[in-house]
Chains A and B, each alone.
Chain A
Amino acid sequence: NAGVTQTPKFQVLKTGQSMTLQCAQDMNHEYMSWYRQDPGMGLRLIHYSVGAGITDQGEVPNGYNVSRSTTEDFPLRLLSAAPSQTSVYFCASSYLMFSGANVLTFGAGSRLTVL
């Protein structure tokens, strides 16, 4: 059981380039999300999805796009990379709970450097 798989593990971009971070989960989780983790800032939610065809913004969505065409996949697109987007990105998924909390399963992360 692979859980949450993120690719690539490392990526270096030049300012203005675009790229897609891939995320796939094999647990049939309805909820998927993208976070970025920066020193002194903690984990910040970028975008999330509660099911195929449904996406919504988190607290830091600018400069990023997402789509959810299948339950399994939730790619994160950087439209025009900026140095401020240098970070470690985590994809996380969970079952949708109607009561109680979503308990997240995280991927191993993608470290992105924008020069």
Chain B
Amino acid sequence: TQLLEQSPQFLSIQEGENLTVYCNSSSVFSSLQWYRQEPGEGPVLLVTVVTGGEVKKLKRLTFQFGDARKDSSLHITAAQPGDTGLYLCAGVNAGNNRKLIWGLGTSLAVNP
């Protein structure tokens, strides 16, 4: 069974701090997606990383796909209260592009 482990599970920080969350697996993925979910809403796609070693930036968010395509990280610079939410990673099975493997998420709280 393919698993995606996200860490940390919970994170509470002050506004302006930097943070990194991780998404790790022993399996290879053809690509990996990051979503953010706010309370009472569905997940919303932030980014897709496809190539091993790829780095993508979305304003203060930096996403990296591991060289071996088994892991990914999300770094947030100068976190703001609007960054609060549940961050989910989802790996695309290398053998079946329609099957997503979901991590359990990192719940981030950014306090003013």
B100 contact set on A, CB distance < 8 A = 45, 101-102, 104
A90 contact set on B, CB distance < 8 A = 42-43
Q: How far is the CA of A40 from the CA of B105 in the complex (A)?
A: 9
One of B17-25, B44-52, B76-84 contacting the partner? B44-52
- Residue from A41, A90, A102 whose CB has the most chain B CB atoms within 10 Å: A102
Contact A104 B45, beta carbon cutoff 8 Å: yes
Size of B's binding interface in residues, CB under 8 A: 20
A42-B105, A43-B88 given; A92·B42 CB < 8 A: yes
A108 contact set on B, CB distance < 8 A = 40-42
Size of A's binding interface in residues, CB under 8 A: 26
Contact A42 B30, beta carbon cutoff 8 Å: no
**Residue-by-residue, is A96-115 near B (CB-CB < 8 Å gives 1, otherwise 0)?**
11111111111111000000
A31 interfacial by beta-carbon distance below 8 Å: yes
- Residue from B42, B48, B97 whose CB has the most chain A CB atoms within 10 Å: B42
Chain B interfacial positions (CB closer than 8 Å to A): 30-31, 33, 40-45, 48, 50, 88, 92, 97-98, 100, 102-105
8 A-B pairs with least C-beta separation: A106-B42, A101-B92, A42-B104, A43-B102, A101-B31, A42-B102, A90-B42, A106-B43
